[in-house]
Structure 1
């Protein structure tokens, strides 16, 4: 059958909603059809099997949580300083918070990938590619630090996102912006200045 790309995207978005709400075990073609509000059997016409649906969801969720390129271009007009690093990380964290459903679905996919080699391979390829692109972007933009800076910031932000979006009360006593600023302060080379979040407050 001829497939409609817009409907395919809507089905993948519906799969992400189901993953975030019901977990990987709740992801069925019927559940996706119901979430998307389409006739029964629609999802099965677009995806070869459940593994295909999981893999497509894994690829799409990263695109869905990516930056708005017009906003990014505007942000990148600033000088390549620690303050710009702070703004980029803060914007990333806010995107994850705004699409909490997408991030929870990604966590479900990561867990399911430990049991599904095909999904693990797809996620590995996507995440490695994203990390490589982040390293390239950082270096080409002249931002402080080197490739290891990007890797360490990636790990720090990943850990912060897991806590904040799953058990937020763990960090209830910490200001989110100050946390991000402290991450930059501790990871970037010494002599680059103090916590950007604190300096923002004067």
Structure 2
């Protein structure tokens, strides 16, 4: 049965992300996903119960694709837990998220759509909360300077920096972006250990 083909499902969800980023939530239809994925008409409707299911799975897939690889995690864990490492780590995170432009734009569309769809809002709230908690847990285990509040403040600041770069790329140069990341870490972490 086609519904059990995980590669096809992933390709359809990836196509949904592309459609969300390009057309917005209103443009996300099964037909648009089928076209984007270059599959026969009706394929997406065989894999997803309804549009809400597709929206939810697109959001989850963005987070899957944003996870750092094992090599990156190992390199980060081997680095000294000081403020300079923290700055480099944040530059890598901002760079990784920014490089998946359509993923971030799709998440913005999903967040807007969640203001009108309570079920989607519940799923996204749970997913984002889990992501924040995972980041705090990782940070606390790493020994990097700063506390849970610092992690949350940096998440908020860098989410908007990424949005700014993806929607209005002429506002900050890459050099300015990196300087802002360093300044944010310095100011938010403050007098914490180095």
| TM-score bucket of the superposed structures, by smaller chain | over 0.9
Q: CA deviation at 1:191?
A: 6.7
Q: CA deviation at 1:170?
A: 2.2
Aligned residue for 1:148?
149
Q: After superposition, what is the alpha-carbon deviation per residue over 1:94-129, rounded to whole angstroms, capped at 9, x for unaligned?
A: 112211111111110110010011111111111000
Aligned length: 193
Correspondence 1:96 to 2:91: no
Q: CA deviation at 1:63?
A: 1.0
Moved more, 10-19 or 69-78: 69-78
Higher RCO (CA 8 Å, separation ≥ 6 residues): 2
Q: After superposition, what is the alpha-carbon deviation per residue over 1:74-106, rounded to whole angstroms, capped at 9, x for unaligned?
A: 122111001111111101111122111111111
Q: Could you tell me the TM-score, scaled by structure 1's length?
A: 0.91
Determine helix, strand or coil for the equivalent of 1:131: helix
Determine helix, strand or coil for the equivalent of 1:170: coil
Aligned residue for 2:170?
169
Q: Could you tell me the TM-score, scaled by structure 2's length?
A: 0.95
- Greater share of residues in helix: 2
In structure 1, how many angstroms separate the alpha carbons of the residues matched to 2:102 and 2:55?
15
In structure 1, how many angstroms separate the alpha carbons of the residues matched to 2:17 and 2:75?
30
Q: CA deviation at 1:190?
A: 2.5
Q: CA deviation at 1:157?
A: 0.6
Aligned residue for 2:42?
41
Please show how residues 3-18 of structure 1 align to structure 2 within 5 Å: 3-18=4-19
Confirm or deny: 8 A CA contact 2:146 2:192 kept in the other structure: no
Q: CA deviation at 1:173?
A: 9.1
In structure 2, how many angstroms separate the alpha carbons of the residues matched to 1:57 and 1:111?
14
Q: CA deviation at 1:169?
A: 1.9
Is there any run of 5+ residues in structure 2 with no aligned partner, and where?
none
